[in-house]
C-alpha cells in the first residue's frame, strides 16, 4: 500500500493538489487513485497536444467527405466501446498494490478508420474520445464528484496513447511506399499494415511505461524490471491480439459490403460489452472476498477481546475503514433506558462530517418486519443528486427473562454505497454478518455480566446456548403453494444441530439441515462457524450447493483446529418449478413422501461430512416436488430417540407417521412427529438433539 508520506511528499502531489484541492481531503486509497489520474494527465498531455496538431497538419480533408458514412459508423462504434470499458489489474512490486489498466476495443476501430481513409480517419477517434469524456464528466457531475480531471485524463490518454503512436506508425507505413486505403488479396499485401499495427501497439505501451514507473514510486511499490515487463506485456497484449482484425474491416469496407461491416462491428461491441460486465463482476467478487476476509479478522479480534465488550467500539472503529473503505457506515444502538448495562456504541465511518443516517431511518428499521431494509435513491444533506441506495440491517441480541429466551433489536447498521461504485445490495451478506458479529458480541457482553455469580462451567453452557439460538431463523420462508416448518429441540443448553433458510437470488430458497459431531459448548461453537461460512458461500454459489459445501469445507479446515466435523444436507429449492437441487454431506437421507401413497424417495449422500479433509468435492443431485409431495429433513435424534426399554423410534415409524399425516399443514405434521417422539420416549431422558424440517407442496 502507498504511504501518506510517499504521496504527499512528492512534487507531483503538490502540483496535483493545487489543481485539484479535494485530493487533500481524500482517504489514502482514493488519494492514490486520484494521483494515478493526474500522473497520466501530466505525462501524456504533451503527446496528446502533438498528436492533435499533427493530425490537423496531416489530414487530407477531401477523404473526410469521400469516406464520410464509413467514418460516422466507426465513430459511433468507438463511442459505444469507450463508454463501456473493461479493466485489467497488474500487480506492483511484492506487496498488494495493483495498477488498473482500463481499456476497450476502440483501438481496433481506430486502426480500421486509418486503413480506410488514412489520417483523416483518426478524426473519428478524436471526436469519439471527446464525446466519451463529456459523457464521463456528466456522470461525475450527477454523482456530485469533480467533473473535470478524470474525464480530461481519459481524453488525454486516448489521444496520447493511441492517436499519437498511430500517426507515427502511419508515417512509417507511407514512407515504405504504401498507401491508404489498404487493399490487396494476399498476406504479402497486408504485411506492411500488420507491421504498422505492431509498431503502433509497442509504441503505445512505451508511452505508458513512465506513467507506471511514477505510480509505482508514489505507491512505494518499487520499480522492479519484472513488474515493468509484466505491465508492458499487459498494456500491449490486447492491441496486438485484436487490432489486426482492423485490416479485415478495412478490406470489407473497400468492397462495399456494408451489411457485413455492420455485423462485424456489432460482434465487436458485444465482445466489448461482455468484457465490460465480466470486469465489473470480477470487481464485485474481489470486493466481496475482501469483505469476507476482513470480517473473519474482525471476528477473531472480537473473540480475543475482553468478554465484557469494553473494547468493541475501538475494534469496530479500526475495522470499518478496512472493511468498507469507500462506503458510508453508521452503527447505532437504540435507547434502552430499562437496560443500563448495554455497551455504549454509536459510530460513523468516515468519522468526519455529519451523521450518515437520519433519525427517522432508524425508526423505520425498528418497525420493519424483516431483518433489513433497503432505502432507494438516498440523497445526502446539501446535495442535489442521488448518492445511492441505503441498507439498514438489524443488530439482534439474545436476552433471558425469567428463564425464557427472547430476541430483541438492540440497534442497527446503516450502509450507503455510492451508485458509481456499485449497488449497496451486493454487500448485504457482509453487512448482515457484521450485524451478527456485533449482536453476538453484545450478547456475550450481557451474558458475561449476568453469569458472574454462577459457576464457570454453567456460565459457558448458558452463554453458548443463547449465542447459538440467535443463529436460528425466527421466520419461516413463504412462497405460494408451499408450506415450510422447522423446529429444534435441544437435549442440553447447547446444541450441535442447526437448520437454516437462506434467501437467494430469483426467489430461490436455501434449505440447511445439519448436525455437528460431539456435544456441548465445542459443538455449539463449531456449529456457529459452520453456519456462518455456509451461509456466506451459499449466497455466492447460487444453484450449485456442491460448490458452497466445498468452499465452506476448505475454510472450516483453515479456521478450526478441531477433530470435529459436521454432516448436513444443503438444498436449493425453486418454488416456481418445484425442483430441489441438493448435496448431502454424510447426513441422514431425507425422505420424499410422494402424493402417491407408499412411494418414498431418498435424498442419499453425495459426499463425506464437512471439516474432515481439505480439497474434497461433493456432487449435486436433484429431486422434483410434485403437488402433494412431502419432504422430511431431520437429524439422527429423530429415528434414534429411545424409550426406557432402549428401543429406538426408528425410520419406519417416522415414515409411517409422515404418510399418515400427508396432506396436512407442515406445522401440524411437525408437531405430530415431535409429540409422537415424546410420547414414545416417555420418561426416558433425551440423549440427542431432535431437529425436524417439513416441506410440503400443496396439491
Separation CA 437–CA 303 (nearest Å): 10
**Residues 228, 193 within the same domain:** yes
**Residues 243, 320 within the same domain:** no
**Residues 424, 487 within the same domain:** no
CA distances from 39 to 88, 113, 216, 425, 516 (A): 19, 29, 11, 34, 56
**Residues 515, 558 within the same domain:** yes
5 belongs to a structural domain: no
661 belongs to a structural domain: yes
Say what the pTM is: 0.56
Q: Report the pLDDT value the prediction gives residue 459, as an integer from 0 to 100.
A: 53
Q: In whole angstroms, how large is the CA radius of gyration of the chain?
A: 32
Range of the domain at 342: 284-450
Q: Please name which of 344, 466, 491 lies closest in space to residue 401, comparing C-alpha atoms.
A: 466
Q: Report the pLDDT value the prediction gives residue 91, as an integer from 0 to 100.
A: 57
**Residues 404, 540 within the same domain:** no
Q: What is the CATH number of the domain that holds 395?
A: 3.30.450.40
Q: Which ranges of the chain have pLDDT less than 50?
A: 1-3, 95, 337-343, 402, 453, 457
162 belongs to a structural domain: yes
242 belongs to a structural domain: yes
**Residues 358, 394 within the same domain:** yes
**Residues 550, 695 within the same domain:** yes
Q: Please name which of 472, 467, 527, 482 lies closest in space to residue 696, comparing C-alpha atoms.
A: 482
**Residues 446, 478 within the same domain:** no
Q: Please name which of 344, 366, 340, 350 lies closest in space to residue 317, comparing C-alpha atoms.
A: 350
Q: Please name which of 477, 478, 481, 479 lies closest in space to residue 626, comparing C-alpha atoms.
A: 481
**Residues 163, 49 within the same domain:** yes
**Residues 486, 348 within the same domain:** no
638 belongs to a structural domain: yes
Q: What is the CATH number of the domain that holds 616?
A: 3.60.40.10
Burial letters 388-420, b for 16+ CB under 10 A, else e: bbbbbbbbbbbbeeeeeeebbbbbbbbbbbbbe
Separation CA 510–CA 501 (nearest Å): 5
Indicate the Cα dihedral angle 298, 302, 304, 305, nearest 10°. Answer: 130
CA distances from 693 to 405, 667, 670 (A): 22, 9, 7
Separation CA 506–CA 458 (nearest Å): 44
Q: Report the pLDDT value the prediction gives residue 463, as an integer from 0 to 100.
A: 61
- Give me the count of residues in the chain: 699
CB 654 within 8 A of CB 632: yes
407 belongs to a structural domain: yes
Q: Report the pLDDT value the prediction gives residue 152, as an integer from 0 to 100.
A: 94
**Residues 400, 508 within the same domain:** no
Number of domains forming the structure of the chain: 3
**Beta pairing partners, 345:** none
Separation CA 668–CA 672 (nearest Å): 6
CB 19 within 8 A of CB 149: yes
CB atoms within 10 A of CB 157: 25
**Residues 511, 576 within the same domain:** yes
30 belongs to a structural domain: no
- Please identify, among 207, 238, 256, the residue that sits at the C-terminal boundary of a domain: 256
Q: What is the CATH number of the domain that holds 246?
A: 1.10.1760
Separation CA 590–CA 602 (nearest Å): 6
496 belongs to a structural domain: yes
Q: Report the pLDDT value the prediction gives residue 547, as an integer from 0 to 100.
A: 94
Q: Report the pLDDT value the prediction gives residue 574, as an integer from 0 to 100.
A: 94
Q: Report the pLDDT value the prediction gives residue 155, as an integer from 0 to 100.
A: 94
* Helix spans in 311-358 (H): 312-323
Separation CA 688–CA 125 (nearest Å): 73
Amino acid at each position: 500500500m502507498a504511504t501518506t508520506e510517499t504521496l504527499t511528499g512528492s512534487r507531483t502531489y503538490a502540483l496535483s493538489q493545487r489543481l485539484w484541492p479535494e485530493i487533500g481531503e481524500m482517504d489514502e486509497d482514493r488519494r492514490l487513485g486520484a494521483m494515478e489520474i493526474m500522473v497520466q494527465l501530466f505525462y501524456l498531455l504533451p503527446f496528446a497536444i502533438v498528436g492533435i496538431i499533427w493530425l490537423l497538419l496531416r489530414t487530407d480533408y477531401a477523404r473526410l467527405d469521400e469516406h464520410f458514412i464509413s467514418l460516422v459508423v466507426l465513430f459511433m462504434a468507438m463511442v459505444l466501446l469507450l463508454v463501456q470499458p473493461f479493466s485489467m489489474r497488474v500487480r506492483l512490486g511484492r506487496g498488494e498494490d495493483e495498477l488498473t489498466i482500463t481499456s476497450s476495443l476502440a483501438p481496433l476501430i481506430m486502426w480500421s478508420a486509418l486503413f480506410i481513409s488514412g489520417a483523416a480517419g483518426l478524426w473519428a477517434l478524436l471526436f469519439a474520445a471527446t464525446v466519451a469524456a463529456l459523457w464521463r464528466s456528466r456522470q461525475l457531475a450527477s454523482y456530485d464528484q469533480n467533473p473535470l480531471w478524470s474525464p480530461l485524463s481519459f481524453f488525454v490518454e486516448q489521444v496520447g496513447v493511441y492517436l499519437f503512436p498511430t500517426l507515427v506508425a502511419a508515417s512509417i507505413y507511407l514512407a515504405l511506399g504504401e498507401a491508404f486505403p489498404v487493399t490487396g488479396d494476399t498476406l504479402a499485401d497486408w504485411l506492411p499494415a500488420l507491421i504498422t499495427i505492431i509498431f503502433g501497439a509497442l509504441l503505445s505501451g512505451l508511452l505508458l511505461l513512465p506513467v507506471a514507473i511514477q505510480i509505482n514510486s508514489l505507491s512505494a511499490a518499487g520499480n522492479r524490471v519484472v513488474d515493468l515487463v509484466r505491465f508492458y506485456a499487459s498494456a500491449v497484449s490486447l492491441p496486438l491480439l485484436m487490432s489486426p482484425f482492423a485490416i479485415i474491416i478495412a478490406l470489407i469496407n473497400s468492397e462495399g459490403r456494408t451489411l457485413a461491416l455492420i455485423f462485424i462491428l456489432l460482434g465487436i461491441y458485444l465482445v466489448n460489452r461482455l468484457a465490460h460486465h465480466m470486469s465489473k463482476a470480477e470487481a464485485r467478487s474481489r470486493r466481496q472476498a475482501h469483505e469476507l476476509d476482513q470480517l473473519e479478522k474482525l471476528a477473531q479480534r472480537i473473540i480475543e477481546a475482553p468478554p465484557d465488550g469494553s473494547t468493541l467500539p475501538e475494534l469496530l472503529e479500526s475495522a470499518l475503514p478496512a472493511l468498507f473503505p469507500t462506503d458510508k457506515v453508521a452503527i447505532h444502538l437504540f435507547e434502552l433506558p430499562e437496560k443500563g448495562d448495554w455497551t455504549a456504541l454509536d459510530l460513523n465511518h468516515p468519522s468526519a462530517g455529519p451523521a450518515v443516517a437520519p433519525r427517522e431511518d432508524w425508526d423505520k428499521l425498528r418497525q420493519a418486519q424483516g431483518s433489513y431494509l433497503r432505502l432507494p435513491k438516498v440523497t445526502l444533506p446539501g446535495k442535489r443528486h442521488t448518492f445511492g441506495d441505503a441498507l439498514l440491517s438489524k443488530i439482534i441480541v439474545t436476552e433471558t427473562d425469567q428463564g425464557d429466551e427472547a430476541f430483541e433489536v438492540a440497534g442497527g447498521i446503516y450502509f450507503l454505497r455510492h451508485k458509481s461504485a456499485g449497488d449497496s445490495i451486493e454487500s448485504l451478506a457482509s453487512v448482515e454478518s457484521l450485524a451478527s458479529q456485533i449482536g453476538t458480541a453484545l450478547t456475550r457482553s450481557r451474558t458475561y455480566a449476568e453469569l458472574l455469580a454462577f459457576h464457570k462451567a454453567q456460565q459457558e453452557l448458558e452463554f453458548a446456548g443463547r449465542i447459538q439460538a440467535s443463529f436460528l431463523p425466527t421466520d419461516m420462508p413463504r412462497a405460494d403453494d408451499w408450506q415450510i416448518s422447522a423446529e429444534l429441540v435441544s437435549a442440553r443448553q447447547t446444541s450441535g444441530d442447526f437448520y437454516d433458510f437462506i434467501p437467494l437470488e430469483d426467489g430461490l430458497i436455501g434449505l440447511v439441515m445439519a448436525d455437528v459431531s460431539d456435544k456441548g459448548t465445542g459443538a455449539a461453537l463449531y456449529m456457529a462457524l459452520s453456519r456462518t461460512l455456509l451461509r456466506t458461500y451459499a449466497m455466492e454459489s447460487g444453484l450449485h450447493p456442491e460448490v458452497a459445501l466445498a468452499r465452506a469445507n476448505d475454510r472450516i479446515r483453515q479456521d478450526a483446529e478441531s477433530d470435529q466435523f459436521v454432516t448436513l444436507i444443503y438444498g436449493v429449492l425453486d418454488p416456481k418449478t418445484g425442483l430441489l437441487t441438493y448435496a448431502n454431506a454424510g447426513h441422514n437421507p431425507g425422505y420424499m413422501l410422494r402424493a402417491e401413497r407408499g412411494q418414498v424417495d431418498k435424498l442419499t449422500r453425495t459426499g463425506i461430512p464437512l471439516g474432515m479433509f481439505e480439497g474434497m468435492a461433493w456432487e449435486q443431485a436433484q429431486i422434483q416436488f410434485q403437488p402433494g409431495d412431502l419432504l422430511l429433513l431431520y437429524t439422527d435424534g429423530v429415528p434414534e430417540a429411545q424409550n426406557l426399554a432402549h428401543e429406538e423410534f426408528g425410520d419406519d415409524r417416522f415414515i409411517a407417521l409422515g404418510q399418515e399425516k400427508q396432506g396436512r399443514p407442515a406445522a401440524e405434521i411437525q408437531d405430530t412427529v415431535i409429540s409422537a417422539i415424546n410420547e414414545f420416549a416417555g420418561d426416558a431422558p433425551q440423549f440427542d438433539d431432535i431437529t425436524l424440517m417439513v416441506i410440503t407442496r400443496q396439491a
